Each structure stands twice: as structure tokens, then as C-alpha cells.
């Protein structure tokens, strides 16, 4: 299946979709540094800089079929770390992504976003998808990712997974917390280069599941 990736960032979604056997045929990302990271890992894939003009770009020359449109549209309007203005935030770009879906008619749409979307804007997302003829399923199967995002630079939470009636610490969180302690104590080689309390790229790559060196550009 061919994937057109929107709001590509540094390609995390593509990495997962390719591991599932899909092929990335296009990427759209506005940040020049992110595009450098994308170019390092997908040198043959055509790239564009703005989802808002993506349809014209895609149609400007012969392209392969797009079976999947995938993307994590900017989460600031819905995130609990922000004002949660949703559609009243100028960074609310779901309509731009919905337009790409409407024009290119993929078979599938894959979205990723923060959990705050569920009560800030999700009704619009589901409504657009329904009006475009899509059924929708959603999952909160990785709540630990949200917890890590929310706390990577401050205190560590105690995410728990409820298994068999008992609350247990997710093993991935235990490892992450051990590493974080190493960072704070400056004993971990991963954290040795942290400046001003900001975790270094190597550690963040590890934390977010990217291969080491992914963002070396």
C-alpha cells in the first residue's frame, strides 16, 4: 500500500507503517530541519512543505496511487499542555488534511494525535470522515506514550497497566524511569551531554522508539 504522509515531522509514523509493509510515496512537512531528517531516511521520496498546498503539488506531475493518507496534524490546539482552543486556534489544521483526503480519495486514513483531541475537535474529525464516506476506529492503546510526552522534562508519572485486576507498572516505563534517573544524576552517558536540563537527542530518540542517530543531519 502506498502512503502519502502529511505533517511528517521526523517520520515516526512512516517508520511504523513501513515496518507494517507499506511504501511511503510522498511526504509533507513545513519544518526545514525535519525535512532534512526525512531526506536522510527517504532520499527518493518526493517532499513538499505545506499541507495547505499539497493537493496542487501532488497533482503537478504523474504520481503513484495513494492508498493511505497518514498524519499527525498539529496537536497544540487540543493538547492539555496548551489552551485547548481547538478550532479557534490558528494551528488547527485538520481541515487542510481533510481536504487532501477529499481530493485524493485514499482507501484508508491513519491519524495520530494527543488524547486531548477526544474532547477538543474530535467531533469535527469524525464528522468530516463520515461525510467523506469513512468509518472510523480509534484506540488509546499506548497511554504510556502520552505520559512520557507529558513528563519527559519534569517529574515521572507512574503509568500503570491494568492486567488481570492488578495494577502493574508497564515494564517499558520502568526502563524509561531508570534512564531518566541516570540523566538527572548525570551518570548516564546518554544524559552526559544534556544542556540546561534538556534531554539530549540520543536519549529522546531512544525514548520515542527511533533508531539511534535518526536525527543526525
| Annotated catalytic residue 54 | no
Q: Does 58 bind ligand SAM (CB under 6 A)?
A: no
Separation of alpha carbons 156 and 170, rounded Å: 13
Residue from 4, 45, 68, 75 binding ligand SAM (CB under 6 A): 75
Q: Which of 71, 64, 14, 22 is nearest to 42 (CA)?
A: 14
The kind and range of the H/E element at 109 are strand 108-111
What contacts 24+ positions apart, CB below 8 Å, involve 59-66?
63/25, 63/26, 64/2, 64/25, 65/2, 66/2, 66/3, 66/4, 66/25, 66/26, 66/104, 66/106
Q: Does 145 bind ligand SAM (CB under 6 A)?
A: no
Residue from 4, 17, 24, 28 binding ligand SAM (CB under 6 A): 28
Kindly indicate which of the ranges 11-19, 81-89, 129-137, 169-177 contains the residues binding ligand SAM, using the contact rule CB under 6 A: 11-19
Kindly tell me which of 74 and 159 has the beta carbon lying closer to ligand SAM: 74
b/e for 23-43, b at 16 or more Cβ within 10 A? ebbbbbbeeeebbebbeebbe
Which residue has its beta carbon closest to ligand SAM?
9
Q: Does 34 bind ligand SAM (CB under 6 A)?
A: yes
What nine digits make up the cell of 99? 481536504
Residue from 7, 58, 92, 214 binding ligand SAM (CB under 6 A): 7
Residue from 26, 72, 116, 121 binding ligand SAM (CB under 6 A): 72
Kindly indicate which of the ranges 72-80, 101-109, 127-135, 188-196 contains the residues binding ligand SAM, using the contact rule CB under 6 A: 72-80
Q: Are strands 166-169 and 47-48 parallel, antiparallel or unpaired?
A: unpaired
List of residues contacting ligand SAM (CB under 6 A): 7, 9-13, 28-31, 34, 50-52, 72, 74-75, 93
Active site amino acids: 75
Amino acid at each position: 500500500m502506498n502512503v502519502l504522509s502529511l505533517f511528517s515531522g521526523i517520520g515516526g509514523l512512516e517508520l511504523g507503517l513501513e515496518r507494517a509493509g507499506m511504501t511511503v510515496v510522498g511526504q509533507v512537512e513545513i519544518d526545514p530541519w525535519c525535512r532534512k531528517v526525512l531526506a536522510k531516511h527517504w532520499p527518493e521520496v518526493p517532499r513538499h512543505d505545506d499541507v495547505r498546498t499539497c493537493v496542487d503539488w501532488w497533482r503537478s506531475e504523474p504520481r503513484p496511487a495513494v492508498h493511505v493518507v497518514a498524519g499527525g496534524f498539529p496537536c497544540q490546539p487540543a493538547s492539555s499542555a496548551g489552551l485547548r482552543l481547538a478550532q479557534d486556534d490558528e494551528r488547527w489544521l485538520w481541515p487542510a488534511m481533510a481536504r487532501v483526503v477529499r481530493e485524493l480519495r485514499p482507501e484508508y486514513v491513519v491519524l495520530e494525535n494527543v488524547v486531548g483531541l477526544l474532547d477538543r475537535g474530535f467531533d469535527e474529525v469524525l464528522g468530516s470522515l463520515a461525510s467523506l464516506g469513512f468509518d472510523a476506529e480509534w484506540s488509546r492503546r499506548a497511554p504510556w506514550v502520552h505520559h512520557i510526552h507529558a513528563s519527559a522534562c519534569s517529574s515521572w508519572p507512574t503509568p500503570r497497566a491494568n492486567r488481570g485486576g492488578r495494577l502493574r507498572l508497564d515494564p517499558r516505563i520502568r526502563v524509561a524511569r531508570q534512564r531518566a534517573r541516570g540523566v538527572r544524576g548525570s551518570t548516564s552517558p546518554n544524559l552526559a551531554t544534556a544542556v540546561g536540563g534538556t534531554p539530549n537527542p540520543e536519549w529522546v530518540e531512544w525514548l520515542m522508539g527511533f533508531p539511534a542517530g535518526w536525527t543526525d543531519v
